[in-house]
Structure 1
Amino acid sequence: MSLTMGSGPLVGTRRGSFDDGTRISEHPLYLEELDRRVRGYVGGRLVVDAAAPRLLHQDGQLPRWWFDRSAVDEDLLTPTDRTREDPALGTVRSWDLHVGERTVQDAAEDVPDPAPGLPPLAGLVAVGFDALDRWLEEDDEVIGHPRDPYHRVDTRRSSDTVVVRVGREVVAESTRPVKLFETGLPVRWYLPPEDVRSAFLSPSLTRTICPYKGIASYWSLTVGDRVVPDGAWTYADPLGEALQVRGFLSFLGEGVEVEVRRAA
């Protein structure tokens, strides 16, 4: 379960409920130490090397790594006088990144004077995921954003019949779909390409990145004079939790209907 996204327990839209003795603040925070090495690079230059990074969960935001200052190269990352006010963290100071001729403003942040009651952020710095070129957890590359240890992706084969229509036209129909469950998100159905009418598909340049499933490529759906941009997608080389949907297609978009007929 993701703590702070979707329907997680620390979000106002959570599905569950707490007992009367449990109080959740308006802006809940949860900081935990990870037992995995995290490294970050710009080009081939090592900027971050942390043996025990922290992961901060904040209401409605993606998780962020925070590092001991000793784990970042302070010859490359330097604090500035620029600040912003965060409703949960208070005054947050920006750091700039300088590598050779390359400068990235606001590449990192810290909380110089954490208020009482905050998690122990003193002496820690958060480096923006997109500020660096490459991140590794141990020796595996991380894409998109830091992975939430409470976020799950599960896939299950199904014998239900799934029919995908655009208007009255059947675009795909399968009795061997794979059902994908992802924390805080609606169930998605993935259909084998043999059960999809490829004449309705045209490749799109759109790509999206998911740290749990991998990189998705898209197709637009064209039925008569109706076009659904990026109405179908697939993971050609999915990450471990999504291996069962490799090459399968899922559908979503305005005018796309996904009908599920339960197997007997």
Structure 2
Amino acid sequence: MIPLPTLQAVRTTPEGLLWEPSERWVRGRKGDVTVVDSRHPVLVWEPDVPVPLYVFPRAEVREDLLRPAKNPPTGTHTGSQIFYDLDVDGELLENAAWTFPATDLADHIAFEWFRRVGRGLDHWYEEEEEIFIHPRDPHKRVDAIPSSRHVQVSVDGTVVADTHRPVLLFETGLPTRYYVPREDVRLDLFEPTDHRTGCPYKGTAEYWSWRGEADVPSNLVWSYPDPLPAAGPIKGLIAFYNEAVDITVDGERVERPVTHFTKTLSVQSRT
């Protein structure tokens, strides 16, 4: 179960979903067509999924664009859902929307986000700000704080970063990430890749992989060249997966954490 603060507003369904109403004005578009325009969205957390999603009252959804799914998937979301295909200007998006079986969420519809799963609505807005990948969690903080700690990073025994001017990024539910100025990183030991990821708190990241022969995961190193304003201090700095490298802070070795990234990194190291 996702660790959330005990708040009266957060409710639980028998299916294990957590949910709470949101006061944000949320809109979802496919191209130029507004499919969702909601002033009464509900945030939902599925079991064992670290990020939330929105569901919307049917009255605030363009149901005229929804069709019963021709090829509904199984096991993609909690419970026995009803899936819908989305028909926008003659383009059919399969399984773009669904409903949860929970009584608490009856008459609400959820949508996939294109930039998260590769299908669904491609533009989302909270008020007038466009958001990406998934809704931002109201119970989560992301703080990027400049520091003077002495941070060293090693890969397979080789020191690849050494700095006294890191930016420490504290993100709820994740280990502290140590962002290091490029001048203090041996980037010559890594090679850039085509891999990119998006984060609704930080922006779009670019990646590097280790050039050596060590058994380490690919895309081990990343940077945000143009972060979102809230994460501005990490602009252009370099970070490493604590889960797969050795980090020493002020002479004290940082224990490698186990996170939801650990399994993915382990699979990458075997491919």
TM bucket (normalised to shorter chain) is 0.7 to 0.9
**2:22–2:43 Cα contact (<8 Å) kept:** yes
Structure 1 counterpart of 2:131, from 138, 142, 147: 142
Post-superposition shift, 1:237?
1.2
Opposite residue 124 of structure 1, the aligned amino acid is H
* Deviation sequence 1:227-251 (CA, Å, 0-9, x none): 7521210111112332111111011
Opposite residue 181 of structure 2, the aligned amino acid is P
Establish whether residue 126 from structure 1 lines up as the match of residue 110 from structure 2: yes
Post-superposition shift, 1:198?
2.7
**Aligned match of 2:257:** none
Partners of 1:40 and 1:255 lie apart in 2 by 37
- Flag the 1:190–1:89 CA change in 2: closer, same or farther, 3 A: closer
Secondary structure of 2:247's match? Answer: strand
Establish whether residue 220 from structure 1 lines up as the match of residue 209 from structure 2: yes
Opposite residue 50 of structure 1, the aligned amino acid is S
Q: TM-score, normalised by structure 2?
A: 0.78
- Flag the 1:73–1:185 CA change in 2: closer, same or farther, 3 A: same
Aligned pair count reads 240
Partners of 1:206 and 1:27 lie apart in 2 by 35
Structure 2 counterpart of 1:30, from 3, 15, 18: 18
Greater helix content: 2
Structure showing greater relative contact order (alpha-carbon pairs closer than 8 Å, 6 or more residues apart): 1
Establish whether residue 209 from structure 1 lines up as the match of residue 213 from structure 2: no
Partners of 1:171 and 1:145 lie apart in 2 by 33
**Identity over the aligned pairs, expressed in percent?**
40
**Aligned match of 1:199:** 188
Opposite residue 230 of structure 1, the aligned amino acid is N
Structure 1 outlier segments of 4+, above 3 Å: 24-28, 79-86, 88-91, 225-228
- Flag the 1:199–1:51 CA change in 2: closer, same or farther, 3 A: same
**Aligned match of 1:173:** 162
Post-superposition shift, 1:262?
5.3
Structure 2 counterpart of 1:65, from 54, 59, 74: 54
Partners of 2:135 and 2:187 lie apart in 1 by 35
Establish whether residue 54 from structure 1 lines up as the match of residue 42 from structure 2: yes
Q: Which runs of 5+ in 1 are unaligned?
A: 11-16, 18-23
Post-superposition shift, 1:169?
2.4
Post-superposition shift, 1:85?
8.0
**Aligned match of 1:185:** 174
Structure with larger Rg: 1
Partners of 1:176 and 1:43 lie apart in 2 by 43
Post-superposition shift, 1:57?
2.3
**1:65–1:146 Cα contact (<8 Å) kept:** yes
Partners of 1:251 and 1:143 lie apart in 2 by 23
- Flag the 1:83–1:172 CA change in 2: closer, same or farther, 3 A: closer
Secondary structure of 1:241's match? Answer: helix
Partners of 1:209 and 1:83 lie apart in 2 by 27
* Deviation sequence 1:108-166 (CA, Å, 0-9, x none): 1124xx56xx42x2221112223111111111111111111111111222222111122
Partners of 1:132 and 1:171 lie apart in 2 by 41
Q: Which runs of 5+ in 2 are unaligned?
A: 7-11, 115-119, 253-271
Structure 1 counterpart of 2:33, from 38, 45, 56: 45
Q: TM-score, normalised by structure 1?
A: 0.80
**2:196–2:204 Cα contact (<8 Å) kept:** yes
**1:231–1:253 Cα contact (<8 Å) kept:** no
Opposite residue 160 of structure 1, the aligned amino acid is R
Post-superposition shift, 1:205?
0.6
**1:129–1:146 Cα contact (<8 Å) kept:** no
Secondary structure of 2:144's match? Answer: strand
Opposite residue 108 of structure 1, the aligned amino acid is A
Post-superposition shift, 1:173?
0.4
